[in-house]
Amino acid sequence: MVGSVRPLDTAQADARAYLREADGQRVLVTLNLGATLYTLDLGHVAASGSLLLSTDLGRAGSIDLARLQLSPDEGLVMRVMLLRIASLVS
């Protein structure tokens, strides 16, 4: 496998997030593995993400990462530009 994977703290037991970096591109993956709507603050990673893939067909465009809402069983894949790497959990 080429590149790196960094897990991120979501502060929610059923929510997962990680940052995948390879060849100068950065992709943020978020998953809600539970039955509850979660609002995540991933604004420390980037201001927004450009949606690449979603399990919610109603999603489109740019997503505010400081107030990211994940519906139950929802997953998102977004292209991001990092704000600062030092704040990420390794």
pLDDT digit string (tens) for the chain, length 90 residues: 578 999 999 999 999 999 999 988 899 999 999 999 999 999 999 999 999 999 998 888 899 999 999 999 999 999 998 665 544 544
For residue 90, being part of any structural domain is answered with no
For residue 66, being part of any structural domain is answered with yes
DSSP string, 5-74: EEEE--S-TTEEEEEEEETTEEEEEEEE-SSS-EEE--TTT-SEEEEEEESSTT--SEEEGGGEEE-TT-
Residue 74 maps to which CATH number? 2.60.40.1180
The SS3 assignment for 77 reads strand
Looking at residue 86, its pLDDT comes to 46
Identify the DSSP state of 75. E
Question: Are residues 15 and 70 in contact, defined by beta-carbon separation less than 8 angstroms?
Answer: yes
Domain that holds residue 16: 4-83
For residue 88, being part of any structural domain is answered with no
Looking at residue 2, its pLDDT comes to 79
Total structural domains in the chain? 1
For residue 31, being part of any structural domain is answered with yes
For residue 54, being part of any structural domain is answered with yes
Looking at residue 90, its pLDDT comes to 45
pTM, to two decimals: 0.85
Question: Are residues 39 and 11 in contact, defined by beta-carbon separation less than 8 angstroms?
Answer: no
